């Protein structure tokens, strides 16, 4: 399990606000949500669609399909106040590359999950969520399996990579803990490769947009 920030930093996803020229659209949204229009410009560049925009809140559909605040861009744990950090360009590919590197360098075949801290539409508080994964299932489909009473499950799909991310966040922390890597051992899971893209709910199935 790796924190998104160290992956993004390693991939050069730091941007200086002083180098950004906001568009008219970014200026308008900046005024509406009370955010720096240069930050809003980066958010819009990383987004397919603005989902909600009210004072202090800009929820977008990220270009990778994630529905999230500020396209995942933030400045926490960044030394330079002029810089902000974007998500990796392709977190699933980043996870695949890291997994291959671990196998090549250390001779171990491990699953890799890249973790970010997200708010949730239905509940208060942030929790860890998988934005990239390799060597582990993103989803585990339990449909067709019996429960304890023999009833057949009809809709249950487990967000396996998200559960790994949330568990690791208990050790990683989300502030000044400085623990960007967590090793999880003994986790039972189907032997199937997967990715975090499996966890993205298609817009046609999103009942809240």
Look up residue 132 and give its two tokens.
């990239």
Higher pLDDT, 42 or 174: 42
Query: How sure is the predictor about 188, in pLDDT bands with cuts at 50, 70 and 90?
Result: confident
Which among 137, 157, 142 is positioned nearest to 205, based on CA atoms? 157
Q: Residue 163 to residues 61, 151, 173, 209: CA-CA distances in angstroms? A: 22, 24, 15, 24
Domain ranges of the chain: 5-85, 90-200
Res. 143: pLDDT tops 80: yes
Res. 170: pLDDT tops 80: yes
CATH for the 90-200 domain, from 3.40.50.2020, 3.30.1330.100, 3.50.50.60, 3.40.50.300: 3.30.1330.100
Please indicate whether the domains covering 5-85 and 90-200 agree at the CATH topology level: no
Secondary-structure class of domain 5-85 per CATH: alpha beta
Query: How sure is the predictor about 183, in pLDDT bands with cuts at 50, 70 and 90?
Result: very high
pLDDT in tens, 35-76: 999 999 999 999 999 999 999 999 999 999 999 999 999 998
Mean pLDDT (the chain, rounded): 93
**pLDDT recorded at residue 207:** 84
pLDDT in tens, 98-112: 999 999 999 999 999
CA distance 111 to 115: 13
pLDDT in tens, 118-136: 988 889 999 999 999 999 9
């Amino acid at each position: 399990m790796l924190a998104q920030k160290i992956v993004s930093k390693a991939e050069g996803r730091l941007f200086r606000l002083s180098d950004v020229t906001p568009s008219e659209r970014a200026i308008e949204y900046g005024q509406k949500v009370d955010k720096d229009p240069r930050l809003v410009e980066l958010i819009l560049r990383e987004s397919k669609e603005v989902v909600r925009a009210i004072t202090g809140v800009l929820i977008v559909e990220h270009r990778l399909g994630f529905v999230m605040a500020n396209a995942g861009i933030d400045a926490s744990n960044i030394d330079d106040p002029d810089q902000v950090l974007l998500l990796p360009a392709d977190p699933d590919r980043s996870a695949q590359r890291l997994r291959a590197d671990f196998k090549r360098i250390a001779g171990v075949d491990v699953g890799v999950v890249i973790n970010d801290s997200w708010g949730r539409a239905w509940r208060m508080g942030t929790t860890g969520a998988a934005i990239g994964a390799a060597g582990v299932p993103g989803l585990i489909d339990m449909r067709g399996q019996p429960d304890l009473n023999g009833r057949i499950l009809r809709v249950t799909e487990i967000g396996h990579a998200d559960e790994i991310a949330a568990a690791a966040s208990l050790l990683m922390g989300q502030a000044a803990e400085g623990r960007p890597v967590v090793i999880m051992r003994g986790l039972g899971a189907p032997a199937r490769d997967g990715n975090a893209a499996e966890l993205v709910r298609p817009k046609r199935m999103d009942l809240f947009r």
